[in-house]
Homo-oligomer: A and B are copies of this chain.
């Protein structure tokens, strides 16, 4: 019988002490604790350097929570479909939970993580994920025809930016998580099953 996974918990494979955090970042962590019941380990990983934590959180929050023609669920669907290509344990776990929670459909989260092509998707969502996955697998082959397919599915210019920005971001985040072996908080596994 294998040992239980992730026990005891650890944040990442690098041995980096936490920095003294700014007041703003301490408040941010307190808010995470209050709203989620935990601080996402990705934030603890960046907390070895206050400036990096600040820059990452600002970038992330604008991207995933800021105003956009894409719903929060749509952004999370992109996050998970991209992370499936890159087999990223952290992001599949954390953002798979978000898809289950935001959609109220536990199966949709599994489908995004396993193979979005097996899901019953609207033409809008299929076009969105096809673009995001092509951008992940073969960025140098993305061209005008790919943008045209998004426009045909109803996406505007700014929406194309946002689909691209979310897909591109998780190609960064997946790699950061793999590079330092970031671990997801255990709580994500049981969310919205």
Residues of A within 8 A of B (CB): 1-6, 13-16, 48-49, 51-52, 54-56, 58-59, 62-63, 66, 73, 84, 86-89, 92-93, 103, 105-108, 110-111, 113-115, 117-122, 125, 131, 135-136, 139-144, 147, 157-158, 160-161, 163-165, 167-169, 171-176, 178-181, 186, 189-190, 193
Report B-chain residues with C-beta under 8 Å of the C-beta of A147.
Answer: 13-14, 179-180
Q: Tell me whether A2 and B105 are in contact (CB under 8 A).
A: yes
Measured in the bound complex, the distance between the Cα atoms of B63 and A86 in whole Å is 23
Report B-chain residues with C-beta under 8 Å of the C-beta of A119.
Answer: 2, 5
Selected A-B contacts with CB under 8 Å, 29 pairs: A1-B73, A2-B120, A2-B125, A3-B122, A5-B105, A5-B111, A5-B120, A13-B147, A14-B147, A15-B157, A55-B59, A56-B59, A86-B140, A87-B115, A87-B139, A89-B110, A89-B115, A93-B110, A107-B186, A107-B189, A113-B113, A117-B143, A139-B175, A139-B179, A144-B181, A147-B179, A164-B175, A167-B179, A168-B171
- Beta-carbon nearest neighbor of A150 in chain B: B179
Report B-chain residues with C-beta under 8 Å of the C-beta of A15.
Answer: 157
Q: Determine how many copies of this chain the complex contains.
A: 6
- What is the CB-to-nearest-CB distance from A157 to chain B, in angstroms, rounded to a whole number? 5
Report B-chain residues with C-beta under 8 Å of the C-beta of A73.
Answer: 1-2
Given contacts A4-B107, A56-B59, A167-B179, 8 further A-B contacts (CB under 8 A): A2-B105, A14-B160, A49-B158, A55-B59, A93-B110, A117-B143, A147-B179, A167-B175
Main secondary structure of the interface of A (DSSP, over half): helix
Q: Tell me whether B125 and A189 are in contact (CB under 8 A).
A: no
Report B-chain residues with C-beta under 8 Å of the C-beta of A105.
Answer: 2, 4-5
